[in-house]
Amino acid sequence: MSFSHLGLSPALLSSIAHLNYVEPTPVQSAAIPAILENKDIIAQAQTGSGKTLAFCAPLLQTLRPSARPRQIQALILVPTRELATQVAATLEDLAKHIAQEVKLAVLFGGVSVNPQMMHLRGGADIVIATPGRLLDLINQNALSLSQVATLVLDEADRLLELGFADELQRILDLLPKSRQNLLFSATFAPNVETLAFELCVSPARIRVDDAIDVKPDILQRAISVDASRRTQLLRHLIKSEGWKRVLVFVATKYSADLISTKLRRLDIAAEPFHGELSQGKREQVLADFKAARVKVVVATDLAGRGIDIADLKVVVNYDLPRSVDDYTHRIGRTGRAGASGVALSFVSAESQAHFHTISRKQQLHLTLESIPGFEAQESMQQPPTVLDVHGGIKGHRPSKKDKLRAIAAQQNSLKKEIED
Ligand code: AMP
């Protein structure tokens, strides 16, 4: 199948050719013709499947000529500012060869609202926004959604997971009743299904996991190691495996700061990446990571969610993710666009039970490896006596206090590690 069979205009085909994409991915083959036919879409598509282009290309093709002032014709809601930036970059790349001058507005929180308000003067054709900031701007009369013809919910599962359900409802109430709805989600828990059902009319359902060939080529490994030796092991692996660029996931912002500090002390260029850093700093870290000025980025789940680095070969779960979905999202940072990658999880005595839960739900059949010189000394057999910060141990839900206690214990062990 080639892109030219999907009904896309010559201008868009030319933009796609300049991006060096030879063939559409399965989600693109299925979604693009349906969107061009003005159908509603419910698509199950992982990050890295090419879903962004799957909705951006038809959106650009179906834009009406811009009025003066411009009216918002398409609204793309995303869970994070990184994803907003990524979607905008795809739209800009695709719009390069089309005749119409398309004005995008990218709206997210954590930065001053004024430049976004200024940018909205004169309107915009397509808005890409996180829900909270969009509502702020609507409340300040900076934009109106009354002319939106297409709504895209990108990573709908993530939008709901991050607690945006109320904001979403308020935004939906402001949209015209008659519109096209495109919902993309990696997972379909009942809350996502309900949202999809409420939103879409006779939708085309697309499941990309039917199309095995986009399954990224990711080698998953699990290594048993004492919690207190993880940084040393990481350093050992970086050197012995010759890793050039590593994305490391941790449970807290605090750990991200501490571990990157410790790696720097070990002469490894490392930077933290989390929600408390300014947008400018986050952009700088990503630019340095892409340019290989930084070798290791230590990220929390939320911040790491939007990282899109074309040739990222290695992702390390220094702390295990809280949920199975987070596991999928984390390892999806590697093996993108047909490249291969390695996703490696550190499993300590405390996190072993949680690792088994993830393995069971993900149907992973990984053997716990030991790295010579880093064999776990703590017993890996016993059930954990302290609940780990990740919770999720069947039959015993950690209370808030348990979680705080576990985080404090983890931070003490990290501090000890840093001081050693
Ligand atoms: P997603 O996050 O699902 O939008 O996937 C984006 C990744 O897929 C980016 O790295 C794109 O460069 C890449 N991509 C999108 N479409 C294609 C295609 N048809 N062929 C190869 N790579 C693609």
Is residue 243 within 6 Å of ligand 1 at its C-beta?
no
Q: Does 208 share its domain with 106?
A: yes
Is residue 185 within 6 Å of ligand 1 at its C-beta?
no
Q: Does 240 share its domain with 162?
A: no
Instruction: Report CA(316)–ligand 1 centroid distance (Å).
Output: 22
Q: Does 254 share its domain with 378?
A: yes
Domain termination residue (choose one: 178, 195, 212): 212
Site to probe by mutation for ligand 1, drawn from 13, 20, 21 as the one with most ligand atoms within 8 Å of Cβ, is 21
- Which atom in ligand 1 lies closest to the alpha carbon of residue 16? 19
Give me the domain span that covers residue 23: 3-212
CA angle 175, 177, 178 (to 5 degrees): 115
Q: Does 191 share its domain with 264?
A: no
- Which atom in ligand 1 lies closest to the alpha carbon of residue 336? 10
Q: Does 225 share its domain with 288?
A: yes
Q: Does 121 share its domain with 250?
A: no
Domain termination residue (choose one: 212, 235, 264): 212
Domain termination residue (choose one: 187, 212, 237): 212
Q: Does 148 share its domain with 14?
A: yes
Instruction: Report CA(21)–ligand 1 centroid distance (Å).
Output: 8
Instruction: Report CA(10)–ligand 1 centroid distance (Å).
Output: 20
Query: Quick one: how far is CA 6 from the chain centroid?
Result: 27
- Which atom in ligand 1 lies closest to the alpha carbon of residue 19? 12
Residue nearest to atom 14 of ligand 1 (CA): 50
Going across the sheet that includes 368-369, the strands are 270-273, 296-299, 246-249, 314-317, 340-347, 217-224, 368-369
Is residue 29 within 6 Å of ligand 1 at its C-beta?
no
Q: Does 347 share its domain with 237?
A: yes
Q: Does 98 share its domain with 157?
A: yes
Is residue 354 within 6 Å of ligand 1 at its C-beta?
no
Q: Does 48 share its domain with 77?
A: yes
Residue-wise pLDDT tens for the chain (420 aa)?
789 999 999 999 999 999 888 889 999 999 999 999 999 999 998 888 899 999 999 999 999 998 889 999 999 999 998 899 999 999 999 999 999 999 999 999 989 999 999 999 999 999 999 999 999 999 999 999 999 999 999 999 999 988 899 999 999 999 999 999 999 998 888 899 999 999 999 999 998 754 334 456 788 899 999 999 999 999 999 999 999 999 999 999 999 999 999 999 999 999 999 888 887 888 899 899 989 999 999 999 877 766 777 778 899 999 999 888 788 888 888 876 666 789 999 999 989 889 988 888 877 778 888 899 998 887 665 443 333 333 333 334 556 565 566 556 555 555 554 444
Is residue 216 within 6 Å of ligand 1 at its C-beta?
no
Q: Does 394 share its domain with 301?
A: yes
Structural domains of the chain, count: 2
Q: What CATH number is attached to the domain comprising 283?
A: 3.40.50.300
- Tell me the whole-structure pTM to 2 decimals: 0.59
Query: Quick one: how far is CA 208 from the chain centroid?
Result: 17
Q: Does 208 share its domain with 280?
A: no
Residue 279 CA to residue 283 CA, distance in Å, equals 6
Is residue 99 within 6 Å of ligand 1 at its C-beta?
no
